[in-house]
A and B are shown apart, each in its own frame.
Chain A
Amino acid sequence: MENVIFNQLSYPVLTWTVFLPVIGAVFLLFMSSAQVIRIATLFVTIATFMLSFPLFKQFDKTTHMMQFVERHEWIPSWGIHYFIGIDGISILFIFLTTLLSILCVLVSWKSVENKVKEFHIAILTMEAGMLGVFVSLDFFLFYIFWEAMLIPMFLLIGVWGGTQRVYAAIKFFLYTLVGSVLMLVGIVVLYFAAGRTLDILVLSSLQYSLKLQFWLFLAFFAAFAVKVPMFPFHTWLPDAHTEAPTAGSVILAGVLLKMGAYGFLRFSIPMFPDATRIFVKPVFILSVIGIIYGALVCLAQKDLKRLIAYSSVSHMGFVTLGIFALNAQGVEGGILQMINHGIVTGALFLMIGMMYERTHTRVIADYGGFATLVPWYAGLFIILTFASIGLPGTNGFIGEFLILFGAFKAQKLYGVLAATGVILGAGYMLWLYQKVFWEKPNPDYAASGHHHVWDLDLREVITLAPLIILIFWIGFYPEALLSFMHSSVEHMLQNLNTRVAGEGLLAQLITEIF
C-alpha cells in the first residue's frame, strides 16, 4: 500500500472520532436525568470535535493521498477490510459534521422535552454514521454507514417532528432506501468486475468497459441523486425538512444532502470516467432545472421551513452543476458550496427553530415587524440571508462564483441559465426577510400580545456564533478551506482527463449495448 499514508499518530484518530459518539450513546443508556443526558451529549460532541483537531494540524495539504489511514481485516472470506482514511475533500466534511452536531445538541436544549434519552442517542448514532460515511475507504463499510444512518434519521423525523412527521419520515426512508438498494446491486456487480474487492482506491484505479460503466453509473446515480437531491428526485426533501425537528433539519441540510454529491466525487466520477462524460449533459440539465425550479417554488411558499427546504434544492443544483463541470474551479466551487450550504442553511434552520420555540408557528403570514421585536435576531438573520444570496464578503459568493465560473467554462449556456438562479435566490430570500421582519407588525406578537417573543439568549448566540464567524471567514479568506482540496481535486481531474477516450463515447456506448 504505497498510495496511502498510514496514521502516524500514536492512537487510531479516525476510529476514535467515528466511534466516540457510539460509545457516548451506549453510556447514555444508563442515564436517567434529562439534564445530565444533555450535558453528557454536549460533552461527547465537543470531545469528538476536539478529536478532529489533530487531523487539521497534521494534515498534509500537498498530497492527494489518503491520510490517517487504518486498515484491518474485517470479513476475510469476502475480502472486505475495515479501511478508513481521509483526503482533502472528506476532511472538510468531518469538520462540518462534528461542528454541526454540537450545535444540534445546543439548539435542542429546551425544545426537546419528550424522550430526551432516545433523542440524544439518535443524534449521537447519527453523527457516527455520517462521520463513517466520509472516512470509509471500503465500499462495504461505506454502505453500512450509509444505510445505518437512515435508522436514527427516520426516528428523528418521525418521533420528534411536526404534525405530518410520520408521513415525512416514511417517505424519507423509502425514497432513500430504494436509491440505496439499487446502489447495493451496483456495488456487488463492481465487486466481481474488480476481482472480488471493495477497496475504493483499487476500484478507482481500474478501468471498466463502457457498458458496465454506464449501468453502474446509473445504479449509483439512483442513490446519490435521491440524496442530493436532484430534480426530479427531490420530493422527499420538502416534507422531511419541514417536519423534522430543528436538529434533524440541520443535520439533513447540513450533512446528509452533502453525501450524494460526495458520492459523485468519491465514486461515480473517479470510477466511471467515461460514463461521467456521457452523463455530464443530463446532469447539467437536471441541475439547472433544479436551480430555477427550486427558486421559483420558494417564491410561492407559505411555510418558513418549506421555503428553506426548496432553497436547498436550488443550492444543491449549483453543487452538482459545479462538480460535473469537471474543471478545477467548478469542482472546488461545488465542494466549497457544499460546506457553505451546510453552514448557511444549517444556521437558517437553527434560527427558524429558535423562532418556532417562541411563536409556535412557521407560517410566514403570521410574522411581520419582527425587526423591532427582536433586533438581535433580525440582525443575525440578515447576515444569513446575504450569505444565502451570495453577497460578496460572505461565503456564498465564493462558492457560487467558482461554480458559475466553472460551468461557464464547460458549457456557456448552462452557466448563464444557472446565474438566473442567483437572481431568483435574492428574490425569495429578500421577500422572506421583508415579510418576517419588516412590514406592519402582526398584532398577535406586539408587545402586549398573547405570545411573549424574546430576543436571542446567550445559549442561542453561542449556538450561532461559530457559523456566523465561518460565513465571514470563508467569505474573506476562502483559501483556508480551498487549500485542503487543491491536490485531491487536481488528482481527480488529472485521472479523469488521462482516461477519457474523447469524442464518440455515446456512439460507442450505443453500439456496445445494442
Chain B
Amino acid sequence: METASTITLAGFRLIIPELTIICVALMLLLLDLIVKKKGVIAAVGIAGTFVALYGTFKLYGISEPVTAFSDMFVLDGYGNFFKVIFYLNVILTICISLKYMTVEKASFGEYYALLLFATAGMMFMASAADLIVIYLGLELMALSTYILAGLMRKQLRSNEAALKYFFLGAFSSAFLLYGISLTYGLTGTTNLKEIAASLITLNLAENPIVFLGLIFLVVSFGFKIALVPFHMWAPDVYEGAPTSITAFMSVGPKAAGFAVMGRVLFDAFGGQQVQWNSILIPLAVITMAAGSIIALAQTNIKRMLAYSSIAHAGYMLLGIIAGTPGGLTSTVNYLMIYTFMNIGAFAIIIMLRREGFQGENLEDYMGLAKSHPLASALMLIFMFSLTGIPPTAGFVGKFYVFLEAINSGYVYLAVIAVIFSAISAFFYLRVVMYMYMKDPKQEVVLTTSYSMNFALAVTAVMVLLIGVFPSFLLNLVRVSILG
C-alpha cells in the first residue's frame, strides 16, 4: 500500500471529487446573490456533481487502495462506489426538488449549496480511514441536513423535524465520540487499520471496554441508518421535512451510515465479528419487525415510507451480519438499488403536492390510475420493487442479501427477513390498491416539470433494468468492493 505520512500535493489529487463538490457548493452560495433564477443554481449544482462524478470515474482506475493525509483518507473501490450513490442521490434530489421548493415557498439558493455540503460530508465518510475523519464527515453531513429538514420555516412540523433531528443527532454524535475515545484510550490510535493491529498486539480482543466502545459506535451509526430502537427521530423528521429532503435523507445519510459501519466493523473490528454480531443480529430482527409492522398502521405516505425505510435498513444489515466481503457487497448493492426505487417513490409523492394540497395521505391516491395512468404505473413499479417482487430491482437487492446471509449460515435470519418482507407487502400493496381499485374522491392535478420527468424516467428505467439484467450492476459492485 502506498502511504503518504504527511500532507502532500499527491494527496490532494485523491480528494478532487470532494473538493469539487465543496467548491461548487461555495460557488452556489455566491451565485445566489447574483442570479435570481433558482433553475440556474440547480443546473450549476448538477453540472458540478457531474464533474465530481467524472473525477471519481478517473480515480476508479486506481486498483489498489491509496491513502493520503497521514493515512486519514483512503481512496478505494468501496468508497468510490458509495460516492456514485451519493452523486445519484444529490442529482436526483435536485431534479425532483426544483419545482417542489417553489410550491413550498422555500426556494432558497442555500438549499442546493446545503445539499452539496451534505454530500461532501458523506463522501468523506465513505473514504474515511480514521475515526476522526468519520466524525468530521458525519458532522458536516448532519449539520447540513438539520438545516435542510427545517427549511420550510413557516411550517410547524418542519421546525419540529429539524429540532428533533438536531437533538437526537447531537445525541448520536456524543455516542460516536464516546466510542471513539474509548477505542482510542485502549488502542492508542484512531486509525482503523492500526486499531485492528493493536487489538491483536495488545491482546484486547476479549476486553469488555473495547466491546463497550464498539457498542457506542454501533449505536451512533444505528441512529444514522435508523435502526430500531434508535429510529425514534425518523418518522417525525421524514414527515415534517420537505419531501425532497426526505427522499435525500432516506438514501444519503443511510448509505453514508452503512459506509462507515462497514469500514469500522470490517477494517477496525474485523476480528470481533462474534461480538458485533451479538449486537447487530437482535437489532436487525427488531428493525425489520418494527419497521414492517408499524408501517401497516400509517395513513400518511411519507410516514409509511419512513417505516419502510427503517425495515429496509434491517434487510441491508443482513449483509453486514454475514461478515464476509461478499456480504458487504450485497449491502452496498442493496443501497444502490434502494436509491433508485425510494427516490422514485418520493418523486411521485412530490408530484401530488401543489398549492393548497398536501397529497401525503393515502386517500389522496384514490383512483389516481384513472386520471394519471402513467404516474400510477410508475408508482406501482416502485411499490412492487420496494416489496421485492421480481422482475424489479428490489428483488435483486433482497436476493443478494439473503444469498450472502445464508452463505454465512444465517438461514434463520433469512427466514425472518422474508416473512417480514411478506408482511411489508401489505402496505406497499395498499398504495397500489388505492390507486387502481378505488374511485377518485377528488380531482388530482400533478405538478410536473422536465427535471421531474427526467428523474422519474431514470429511476423507473433503472428499477426495471436492474430487475431484468442485474449483471452490469453486480459486476460493478463486485469489482469495486471485492477488487
Q: When A and B form their complex, what is the total count of cross-chain residue pairs whose Cβ atoms lie within 8 Å?
A: 85
30 inter-chain pairs at a CB distance below 8 angstroms, sorted by A residue, are A74-B471, A77-B475, A77-B478, A78-B474, A115-B369, A115-B370, A140-B399, A147-B389, A147-B395, A151-B384, A158-B433, A158-B437, A159-B436, A166-B433, A166-B437, A169-B437, A170-B429, A170-B433, A173-B425, A174-B425, A177-B422, A178-B422, A181-B419, A181-B421, A182-B418, A184-B418, A185-B402, A185-B418, A188-B403, A189-B406
Residues 191-214 (chain A) with a chain B CB within 8 angstroms: 191-192
Contact B403 A191, beta carbon cutoff 8 Å: yes
User: Is B391 among interface residues, defined by CB-CB distance under 8 A?
Assistant: yes
Residues of B close to A154: CB separation below 8 A: 429, 432
What does the 1/0 interface line of A333-367 toward B look like (CB < 8 Å)? 00000000000000000000000000000000000
Query: Secondary structure of the A side of the interface?
Result: helix
Given known contacts A74-B471, A77-B475, A148-B390, is B414 in contact with A188 (CB within 8 Å)?
yes
The count of chain A contact residues (Cβ–Cβ below 8 Å) is: 34
Cα A283 to Cα B425 with chains together (Å): 29
Residues 403-460 (chain B) with a chain A CB within 8 angstroms: 403, 406-407, 411, 414-415, 418-419, 421-422, 425-426, 429-430, 432-433, 436-438
Residues of A close to B415: CB separation below 8 A: 182, 185
Q: Which 8 A-B pairs have the closest CB atoms?
A: A181-B418, A144-B390, A158-B437, A178-B422, A188-B406, A177-B422, A147-B390, A77-B474
User: Is B470 among interface residues, defined by CB-CB distance under 8 A?
Assistant: yes
With A115-B370, A144-B390 known, 8 other A-B pairs at CB within 8 A are A76-B471, A148-B389, A148-B391, A150-B389, A158-B437, A177-B422, A185-B406, A185-B414
Cα A174 to Cα B395 with chains together (Å): 16
User: Is B282 among interface residues, defined by CB-CB distance under 8 A?
Assistant: no
Cα A182 to Cα B415 with chains together (Å): 7
Residues of B close to A166: CB separation below 8 A: 433, 437-438
- Determine the residue in chain B with the shortest Cβ distance to A77: B474
Q: How far is the CB of A105 from chain B (nearest CB, A)?
A: 21
User: Is A59 among interface residues, defined by CB-CB distance under 8 A?
Assistant: no
Pick the most buried of A74, A78, A177: most chain B CB atoms within 10 A of its CB.
A177
Contact B426 A170, beta carbon cutoff 8 Å: yes
- Determine the residue in chain A with the shortest Cβ distance to B376: A118
Given known contacts A148-B390, A170-B426, A192-B407, is B436 in contact with A155 (CB within 8 Å)?
yes
Q: How far is the CB of A223 from chain B (nearest CB, A)?
A: 11
Cα A182 to Cα B420 with chains together (Å): 11
Given known contacts A150-B389, A158-B437, A177-B422, is B471 in contact with A75 (CB within 8 Å)?
yes
What does the 1/0 interface line of A115-153 toward B look like (CB < 8 Å)? 100100000000000000000000010011001101100
Contact A165 B422, beta carbon cutoff 8 Å: no
Q: How far is the CB of B52 from chain A (nearest CB, A)?
A: 28
Cα A220 to Cα B115 with chains together (Å): 47
Contact A189 B411, beta carbon cutoff 8 Å: yes
Question: A75 contacts which of B369, B370, B425, B470 (Cβ < 8 Å)?
Answer: B470
Cα A184 to Cα B384 with chains together (Å): 17
Residues of A close to B229: CB separation below 8 A: none
Cα A177 to Cα B418 with chains together (Å): 10
User: Is B373 among interface residues, defined by CB-CB distance under 8 A?
Assistant: yes
Residues of A close to B402: CB separation below 8 A: 184-185, 188
Q: How far is the CB of A208 from chain B (nearest CB, A)?
A: 15
Question: A192 contacts which of B395, B406, B421 (Cβ < 8 Å)?
Answer: B406
The count of chain B contact residues (Cβ–Cβ below 8 Å) is: 35
Contact B414 A159, beta carbon cutoff 8 Å: no
- Determine the residue in chain A with the shortest Cβ distance to B467: A144
Q: How far is the CB of A128 from chain B (nearest CB, A)?
A: 11
Q: How far is the CB of A348 from chain B (nearest CB, A)?
A: 26
Residues in A lying within 8 Å of B, measured CB to CB: 74-78, 115, 118, 140, 143-144, 147-148, 150-151, 154-155, 158-159, 165-166, 169-170, 173-174, 177-178, 181-182, 184-185, 188-189, 191-192
Residues of B close to A75: CB separation below 8 A: 470-471, 474
Cα A76 to Cα B478 with chains together (Å): 12
Residues of B close to A74: CB separation below 8 A: 471
Residues 251-267 (chain B) with a chain A CB within 8 angstroms: none
Residues of A close to B369: CB separation below 8 A: 115, 118
Q: How far is the CB of A82 from chain B (nearest CB, A)?
A: 10
Cα A324 to Cα B333 with chains together (Å): 42
Residues of A close to B421: CB separation below 8 A: 181
Q: How far is the CB of B393 from chain A (nearest CB, A)?
A: 12
Given known contacts A166-B433, A192-B406, is B391 in contact with A144 (CB within 8 Å)?
yes
Residues of A close to B390: CB separation below 8 A: 143-144, 147-148
Cα A192 to Cα B322 with chains together (Å): 15
Residues of A close to B373: CB separation below 8 A: 118
Contact A184 B437, beta carbon cutoff 8 Å: no
Cα A150 to Cα B388 with chains together (Å): 12
- Determine the residue in chain A with the shortest Cβ distance to B405: A188
- Determine the residue in chain A with the shortest Cβ distance to B415: A185
Q: How far is the CB of A241 from chain B (nearest CB, A)?
A: 18
Cα A173 to Cα B414 with chains together (Å): 21
Residues of B close to A170: CB separation below 8 A: 426, 429-430, 433
Cα A75 to Cα B406 with chains together (Å): 19
Cα A54 to Cα B373 with chains together (Å): 38
Residues of A close to B389: CB separation below 8 A: 147-148, 150-151, 177
Residues of B close to A148: CB separation below 8 A: 389-391
Pick the most buried of B384, B390, B415, B478: most chain A CB atoms within 10 A of its CB.
B390
Contact B436 A158, beta carbon cutoff 8 Å: yes
Cα A177 to Cα B415 with chains together (Å): 13
Cα A155 to Cα B384 with chains together (Å): 12
Cα A143 to Cα B390 with chains together (Å): 8
Cα A194 to Cα B475 with chains together (Å): 23
Cα A115 to Cα B371 with chains together (Å): 11
- Determine the residue in chain A with the shortest Cβ distance to B370: A115
Contact B425 A185, beta carbon cutoff 8 Å: no
Cα A165 to Cα B419 with chains together (Å): 25
Cα A151 to Cα B438 with chains together (Å): 17
Contact B418 A174, beta carbon cutoff 8 Å: no
Q: How far is the CB of B272 from chain A (nearest CB, A)?
A: 26
Residues of A close to B425: CB separation below 8 A: 173-174, 177
Residues of A close to B478: CB separation below 8 A: 77
Q: How far is the CB of A466 from chain B (nearest CB, A)?
A: 31
Residues of B close to A165: CB separation below 8 A: 437
Q: How far is the CB of B327 from chain A (nearest CB, A)?
A: 13
Pick the most buried of B389, B391, B402, B411: most chain A CB atoms within 10 A of its CB.
B389
Residues of B close to A189: CB separation below 8 A: 406, 411
- Determine the residue in chain A with the shortest Cβ distance to B436: A159
